Amino acid sequence: MTTPGSVYEAIGGMPTFRKIVSGFYAQVPDDDILGPMYPEDDMAGAEERLAWFLSQYWGGPPLFNENRGAPRMRLRHAKFPIDMAAHDRWLELMKNSLDQIDEETLPQAYRQMIWQHMNQLAGMLINKAP
Top-tier CATH class for 7-124? mainly alpha
Mean pLDDT rounded to a whole number for the chain: 94
Q: Is the pLDDT of residue 95 over 80?
A: yes
Q: Residue 28 CB: number of other CB atoms within 10 A? A: 19
Q: Quick check: 4 pLDDT over 90?
A: no
Cα(8)–Cα(110) distance, integer angstroms = 10
Please tell me the predicted confidence (pLDDT) of residue 40: 84
Yes or no: say if 51 and 14 are a contact pair by the CB < 8 Å rule. Answer: yes
Q: Where are the domains of the chain?
A: 7-124
